[in-house]
Amino acid sequence: MDKKDYSPRTLAVHAMGAIDPITKAVVPPIHVATTYIRDEDNAYSSGYCYGRPDNSTIREAEAVLAHLEEAKAGALLFGSGMAAATAVFMALEPGAHVIAPKVMYWALRRWLLEDAPALGLSVTFVEMDSLSQIEAAIQPGKTRLIWAEVPSNPLWTITDIRAAADLAHTHGALFAVDSTVASPFHTRPLTLGADVVMHSVSKILNGHSDVIGGVLMAAKDDAYWARVKRIRGAIGAILGPFEAFLLMRGLRTFHLRAEAQAKAADTLAKRLAAHPLVAQVLYPGLPQHPGHDIAATQMENGFGYMISIRVSGGEAAAIATAAKVRLWKRATSLGGVESLIEHRASIEGPGTPCPSDLLRLSIGIEDAEDLFNDLDQALKAAHG
Ligand SMILES: *Cc1c(COP(=O)(O)O)cnc(C)c1O
């Protein structure tokens, strides 16, 4: 399929036109071979040598992702979102200084605190919605990377991507965005000036809560990106072909799902904001959210499928509310077709900056009325 003739939505439905060249099957087969035959002249004319770096099922999924994100240097799938994210830091030179958000995806924050120093990296955590805090943290000649998560877990803090990318570039640093929550349906950070974008494909891109995977995409095919590629191959942080197949299947309905989820989230955020037992609703689509104005300029097609609520009555009332739901699934993760509810501080554990009365909601594709009614009865039951 010629990319310039069709929208990303159409190309994703058709997996960029991938079919089986032998049988013409409309769904390409899953390639599981670990090795490929060398030509008599000692070359590898197919471009495929060994399964760790080379697999066509993986490459088909990468082509779809790169197109969705408008990634000129292409996409690299990893065995998890964490494998993808940590590769961004591992590809920096030893002694590099990086800047990351104070409140961000918890497992990566812990890795930056506990494991990154052993690689010779130093980290400063700042409020990523404050350009002045980012600028003050820059160590001239030493800061190599600014990492933002937009919107960031679990308060949905919004970084001005274009302004932060400009700031990074002025000081010779890379700007990378964990865009898992926004997904390319709502934001394409590379088009706003970011150098690297990362997604956990375990979330809305696959969308069915049955694949763990991650992806990195880059604007420029430069020496840094070559190092990232080499690291993935060298440490073998690859996705399996079956997972890549499931991901491609999920991507065929990505736009439909993302559209429905954002619409239901918008409805729920507004209704919950008026609920007497909810102290605060955090959703970038609400005008009262501190990041709303910037979100409105850099997000398209709505504001995503993630909402946090702060339950009146504090931590005990929040945990009790989660305990009383019947339809929502009480589980961590996000972006699946089924709606999830989670007391976030419980999973993040001691030292979390997450408010103790906060429930994180991932909105799926159920009837929004059913979702509201179930949460409403749970809030009422928890408050006796
Ligand atoms: C889930 C998630 C990750 C980690 O991805 P895994 O696939 O679980 O390794 C990173 N960032 C964000 C925002 C996530 O939601």
Q: What is the DSSP string of 210-244?
A: ----EEEEES--SHHHHHHHHHHHHHT-PPPHHHH
CA–CA gap between residue 300 and residue 360 (Å, rounded)? 22
Confidence label for 330 from pLDDT (cuts 50, 70 and 90): very high
- Distance (Å) of CA 171 to CA 121, 128, 168: 18, 17, 5
Q: Ligand 1: which atom is nearest the Cα of residue 149?
A: 13
Tell me the mean pLDDT in the region 291-307. 98
What are the residues whose beta carbons fall under 8 Å from the beta carbon of 98, sequence distance 6 or more? 89, 92, 112, 116, 121, 122, 123, 124, 143, 144, 145, 146, 147
Confidence label for 26 from pLDDT (cuts 50, 70 and 90): very high
- Identify the pLDDT of residue 353: 83
Residue 185 has pLDDT above 90, yes or no: yes
Q: Ligand 1: which atom is nearest the Cα of residue 202?
A: 7
Kindly report the protein residue whose alpha carbon is nearest to atom 15 of ligand 1.
Answer: 180
Whether 263 sits among the annotated catalytic residues: the reply is: no
> What domains are there in the chain, each with its CATH number?
3-252 (3.40.640.10), 255-382 (3.90.1150.10)
Task: List ligand 1's pocket residues with C-beta within 6 A.
Answer: 80-82, 85, 105, 108, 149, 153, 178, 180-181, 200, 202-203, 212, 214, 334
Q: How large a percentage of the chain has pLDDT more than 90?
A: 96
CA–CA gap between residue 59 and residue 131 (Å, rounded)? 37
Choosing from 6, 36, 48, 52, the catalytic residue is: 52
**pLDDT (tens digit, 9 = 90+) per residue, 223-278?**
999 999 999 999 999 999 999 999 999 999 999 999 999 999 999 999 999 999 99
Kindly report the protein residue whose alpha carbon is nearest to atom 6 of ligand 1.
Answer: 81
Tell me the mean pLDDT in the region 296-317. 98
- Identify the pLDDT of residue 1: 77
pTM of the model: 0.97
CA of 82 to the centre of ligand 1 (A): 6
CA of 84 to the centre of ligand 1 (A): 9
Residue 168 has pLDDT above 90, yes or no: yes
Higher per-residue confidence, 1 vs 144: 144
Residue 3 has pLDDT above 90, yes or no: no
CA–CA gap between residue 241 and residue 31 (Å, rounded)? 6
CA–CA gap between residue 204 and residue 202 (Å, rounded)? 7
Q: What is the DSSP letter of 270?
A: H
CA of 5 to the centre of ligand 1 (A): 33
- Identify the pLDDT of residue 188: 98
- Identify the pLDDT of residue 349: 85
- Identify the pLDDT of residue 361: 98
CA of 181 to the centre of ligand 1 (A): 9
Per-residue b or e along 228-244, where b marks 16 or more CB atoms closer than 10 Å to that residue's CB: bbebbeeeebbbbbebb
CA–CA gap between residue 204 and residue 237 (Å, rounded)? 21
Peptide bond into 29 cis (omega under 30): no
Tell me the mean pLDDT in the region 12-25. 94
Kindly report the protein residue whose alpha carbon is nearest to atom 5 of ligand 1.
Answer: 81
- Identify the pLDDT of residue 312: 97
Whether 178 sits among the annotated catalytic residues: the reply is: yes
CA of 178 to the centre of ligand 1 (A): 9
Length of the chain: 384
Choosing from 109, 144, 188, 203, the catalytic residue is: 203
